[in-house]
Chains A and B, each alone.
Chain A
């Protein structure tokens, strides 16, 4: 066992940390306030190789280990978890192709992302199918060498700006999860309508839209895997991306803790810094130990992927624990700031709003518990 970062990991962390500190953080409040899309920041991240981390070397990608991706994700989320969500959205959308695409499909759908700055969106959730993925109503009907797609997708990150979509739809909704397949949709084909940007509570730098498909034609060769394999591809993708989402919680909570420590040391009440009061100290101590625990749990879930092991259980532990931990840590950070914490003049209320989303997206904390319980109770 070894818990220390290798020299390579330290170097990658250093670049991500510097980028988060110097590029993301100074703009975080602005993009939170305006809810505009931080395109130039994401483009700069692309130039440094901080997005598209999963693309295989065979098609010109960097193919970082899952542990390396997790280390980087913490730093990006420390900078701004809204921006980080939009950055990692590319990896989430490209993962199904990495995991299940043919060699030709990887050349066609992944390589362009290494050559120029492009955005991709992952389209799984629907208005009526959130946690219940198998209840999706978006359909694809085969007509010759094309599928004709009809339906709606909801909460699609970067959808307004995406150059490519990884879409999950069903050949027959009655077949539930067995009817789902994965299609790559390039550009803006006829019949695809992008809805308006959602006015979200937190992670406001991240673009979130609905997509409507009306008789959208997608070539059969854009199908990733076979018909009926979509559900498995989606679940494998989420197993791969769950450590990154958990790391967003760690980075977000670490930012809150650092602000809280700085503030507690300088804020004077009753003639001394509030950091001298045990009530404050205990909140800080809980934050620090729980952030560390969440980080180690998440590292293990990423490490398992690198070792070629199934990580469903541990990554669900990580996502559940980290997301709930971040909600608590950021709420306590606001508490330590008192009235100032509730004001938008100070940075911690944003972190609290941002943390809430991590308990919801990519499998709610409740779904993670269901997954954990299912793994615990299955078999003899």
Chain B
């Protein structure tokens, strides 16, 4: 049974970039930075592609909110195999509720069976959009979908997938990461899933995929055209680097170490 899945592709700073706070202290220096698709979103795209392949095809619609620069991330998801992209054109600050609002309107319009989002974006690590969205849509939600092993070996791949749909698409089973282990949820559909790091290892965008992505459609909206108030309810007042780590010390013997752990670190 073909399935329609909505996924996201937030544009974030490459984790290999060196991030610096700007002179005003209210943001980062963007010049010279490289940008990528949020790795958790990329895992979501991969999971959506695997689910559609398994269920006899369907559609994977990818959404990103931002300036025209986000086309790069949309194209990446299209090159991986997503069928259609939606660009919500917006310049300026955004808060989590605006994004969730835009996604809500798009989901009401596109009517997917399932939405898969990254659990958070690696830029501000908010971890809110998925939860807001499920609540507002009245959908069931399964956050932090995950697997036991961190890297997918061939053996790992052949094990039970962490996200499994019933054949009639009425329910979904999701293995999720919780403190101290994994838990398995069964949810009714439609459902919203957010991905954790260990869920899968995203495929490469193949060269034919990249070439094909050029002719796939990118539909344009704005928060206003979706009826969403884009005024940010959050203002960043100050940004600073975490304090530099202090150099370690050498202790002469075990007794001195135990003493330090007791008196200074107070862990014993």
CB distance from B247 to the nearest CB of A (A): 16
Residues of B within 8 A of A14 (CB): 76, 205
Give 1 or 0 for each of B71-101: 1 = CB within 8 Å of chain A CB: 1100110010000000000000000000000
Q: Is the CB of A49 within 8 A of B208?
A: yes
Most buried by A among B71, B75, B208, B210: B210
Q: Is A19 an interface residue (CB 8 A)?
A: yes
Residue of A nearest to B210 (CB): A11
Given A8-B214, A62-B211, verify A48-B75 contact (CB < 8 Å). no
Q: Is the CB of B214 within 8 A of A50?
A: no
9 smallest beta-carbon distances between A and B, as pairs: A49-B207, A48-B206, A11-B210, A49-B208, A49-B206, A15-B205, A15-B204, A48-B204, A62-B207
CB distance from B230 to the nearest CB of A (A): 26
A15 to B72, CA, bound (A): 13
Q: What is the interface of chain B, defined by CB distance below 8 A to chain A?
A: 71-72, 75-76, 79, 204-211, 213-214
Residues of A within 8 A of B204 (CB): 15, 18-19, 48
Q: Is the CB of A15 within 8 A of B207?
A: yes
Interface footprint category on A:
10 to 19
Residue of B nearest to A114 (CB): B208
Residues of A within 8 A of B214 (CB): 8
Q: Is A64 an interface residue (CB 8 A)?
A: yes
14 residue pairs from A and B, CB less than 8 Å apart = A7-B72, A7-B75, A11-B75, A11-B76, A11-B205, A12-B210, A15-B205, A15-B206, A15-B207, A18-B204, A19-B204, A49-B209, A50-B207, A64-B207
Residue of B nearest to A7 (CB): B72
Residues of B within 8 A of A10 (CB): 72
Q: Is A47 an interface residue (CB 8 A)?
A: yes
Give 1 or 0 for each of A7-49: 1 = CB within 8 Å of chain B CB: 1101110110011000000000000000000000000000111
Residue of B nearest to A22 (CB): B204
A19 to B205, CA, bound (A): 10
Instruction: List 19 additional A-B contacts (Cβ < 8 Å) besides A7-B72, A10-B72, A15-B206.
Output: A7-B71, A7-B75, A8-B210, A8-B211, A11-B79, A11-B210, A11-B213, A12-B210, A15-B204, A48-B204, A48-B206, A48-B207, A49-B206, A49-B207, A50-B207, A62-B207, A62-B208, A62-B211, A64-B207
Residues of B within 8 A of A50 (CB): 207
Residue of A nearest to B36 (CB): A14
Residue of B nearest to A60 (CB): B208
CB distance from A49 to the nearest CB of B (A): 3
Residues of A within 8 A of B76 (CB): 11, 14
Residue of A nearest to B201 (CB): A22
A50 to B213, CA, bound (A): 17
Residue of B nearest to A16 (CB): B207
Residues of A within 8 A of B79 (CB): 11
Give 1 or 0 for each of A47-88: 1 = CB within 8 Å of chain B CB: 111100100000000101000000000000000000000000
Residue of A nearest to B208 (CB): A49
A8 to B210, CA, bound (A): 7
Residue of B nearest to A51 (CB): B207
CB distance from B154 to the nearest CB of A (A): 12
Residue of B nearest to A53 (CB): B207
Residue of B nearest to A19 (CB): B204
Residues of A within 8 A of B210 (CB): 8, 11-12, 15
Residues of B within 8 A of A8 (CB): 210-211, 214
Which listed residue (A7, A47, A64) contacts B206, Cβ 8 A?
A47
A7 to B213, CA, bound (A): 12
CB distance from B43 to the nearest CB of A (A): 15
